[in-house]
Amino acid sequence: MKNDLNTLWIDGIWMQGDGPPLRTSSPVDGQSLYEKNEASAQQVASAARSAKAAFDNYRTTTLEERMRLIHLFKEALIANRETMASTISTETGKPLWEALQETDSMIDKVSISKSAFRKRCRVEESYQGTNPVRIHYKPVGALAVLGPFNFPGHLPNGHIIPALLAGNTVVFKPSEKTPLTGELYARLMQQAGFPPGVFNMVQGGKEAGKALATSSELDGLLFTGSRDTGKALSKLFGAFPEKLLALEMGGNNPLVIDEIEDLNFACYIAIQSAFISAGQRCSCARRLILIDSPFATKFLSQFIESTKRLQIGSPLSSPEPFMGPLISPDAMHHLFNTQEELLQRGAISLLRSGRVGDRGNFVSPGVIDCTGLQSIPDEEVFGPFLKVIRVKDFDQAVEEAEKTRYGLTASLVSSSRHRYEFFQKKVRAGIVNWNAPSTGASSKGPFGGLKDSGNHRASAFFAADYCSSPVASIETAEVKMPAKLPPGMAL
């Protein structure tokens, strides 16, 4: 695909971009991965018009036909499982084992979406007097999907499959950092045989995303990404209440470690929460809250030593690494700058993050004690960087967990069900886990945040909700006048 200049899929045709150059390089070694052109404003508009025009016919197709097409996409994805995983791994730098997990999640999404649609969008019937009242579900319209770089296949797929299943049409813009994954995804959609215009894909950065967000042809936008971009979209869409906007915007997630018997388990949960995917998951723990005790001291010592032993390397390294690189030099420098700023404020480094090797964007995990600082920036640092905050008791731990404008995930490690139930009630987050990593989420439940982490449009199993609009109908085949007319009416 690198030497094929066709990179846009619009109305069932592959074409070259007419916009500015789009170039990406490997986060592993800096070598060029992609050199093509973005979509021009006119091409983005063409994709939106194509989706709008295709919607009128696609919305009337039977659910069985839409399920058939989505099943064909699943078969194409299964046949290209290794290719998809290799592409994700190459572009993001994540270990191949993790990219294979992502691809398998994409495959599983098809069956889960079918189950979710049947359960959450089934026709329901009740009665108003003798008249049946039915609730039907209709597609929203032509939707834009803006994908992130960290799960360039799984996260946009989690919007696209439910949207197409419900009868919507789609214009997909992958992250400008992972265009190859987006291109491969579009080629598999082509293999599935969706009618022209039902699925479209355009490449580009901020300007292409803005063009989709402001398109009068589109009926909604599904976004996963940063808080700042999500806030800007929310402000923009405030003038268009008739349009759907679903936002997932990350978090400054707390992990509270209470006293338990198994120290290894606590360390495992902390590492999985903070450092999986090199900390590049919106659900990663950013704050480790410890209740002062001999256990906490012992835990922290073992956690630091275990973190030092984490394997960091390129996707195909042997033995397999736990962590790959950060996505870009900018991401790496932002992490280091944040670390220095906190040290200047008086924080104490327990494990200093630094560059690993002289090529690529590899960094070692950082752990920094911020206890006692006058103010701790309420910021999502997208990398393997964990702030430690010590508190005197469990009540203070819960209070500290809530000290954030975000509300995506929160996790408690504790042997006490009573404490978990208190934690679950008090902490405002879309996912609240007990003795599971903060990154632990199931496609069979909702995934979405509160406060500055989202706008109450949970995805995963609940994506069916925002991909369809409920319509109430009082229905009767009998034409019959009422026995008595209302006062003041004469016919």
pLDDT tens across the length of the chain (491 residues): 445 778 999 999 999 999 999 999 999 999 999 999 999 999 999 999 999 999 999 999 999 999 999 999 999 999 999 999 999 999 999 999 999 999 999 999 999 999 999 999 888 888 888 888 899 999 999 999 999 999 999 999 999 999 999 999 999 999 999 999 999 999 999 999 999 999 999 999 999 999 999 999 999 999 999 999 999 999 999 899 999 999 999 999 999 999 999 999 999 999 999 999 999 999 999 999 999 999 999 999 999 999 999 999 999 888 999 999 999 999 999 999 999 999 999 999 999 999 999 999 999 999 999 999 999 999 999 999 999 999 999 999 999 999 999 999 999 999 999 999 999 999 999 999 999 999 988 888 889 999 999 988 888 889 999 999 999 998 888 888 888 999 999 99
- For residues 229 and 307, membership in a common domain is answered with no
Structural domain contains residue 157: yes
Per the CB < 8 A criterion, the answer to whether 473 and 123 are in contact is: no
One domain, residues 277 and 226: no
Q: CA 212 to CA 172: how far, in whole Å? A: 9
What's the domain count of the chain? Answer: 2
Residue 483 in any domain: the answer is: no
Say if 163 falls within a structural domain. yes
Determine the length of the chain. 491
Asked if 227 and 321 sit in the same domain, the reply is no
Q: What is the pLDDT of residue 129?
A: 81
Determine the pLDDT at residue 2: 45
Return the CATH number at 334: 3.40.309.10
Instruction: Indicate whether 216 and 81 sit together in one domain.
Output: yes
Is 248 among the residues known to form the active site? yes
Q: What is the pLDDT of residue 5?
A: 78
Q: Do 202 and 121 belong to one domain?
A: yes
* Structure confidence at residue 3 (pLDDT): 52
Residues 428 and 461 reside in one and the same domain? no
Place of tokens 């986060």: 27
Question: pTM of the predicted model, to two decimals?
Answer: 0.95
Is 486 part of a structural domain of the chain? no
Whether 24 is covered by a domain: the verdict is yes
Tell whether 489 is covered by a domain. Answer: no
As beta bridge partners, residue 224 has 248
Q: How far apart are CA 361 and CA 461, in angstroms?
A: 34
Q: Which of 91, 102, 183, 248 is catalytic?
A: 248
**Cis before 319 (ω within 30):** yes
Q: Are 455 and 247 in contact (CB under 8 A)?
A: yes
- CB 201 within 8 Å of CB 172: yes
Q: Looking at residue 1, what is its pLDDT? A: 45
Q: Based on the domain organization, do 282 and 246 belong to the same domain?
A: no
Residues 106 and 165 in one domain: yes
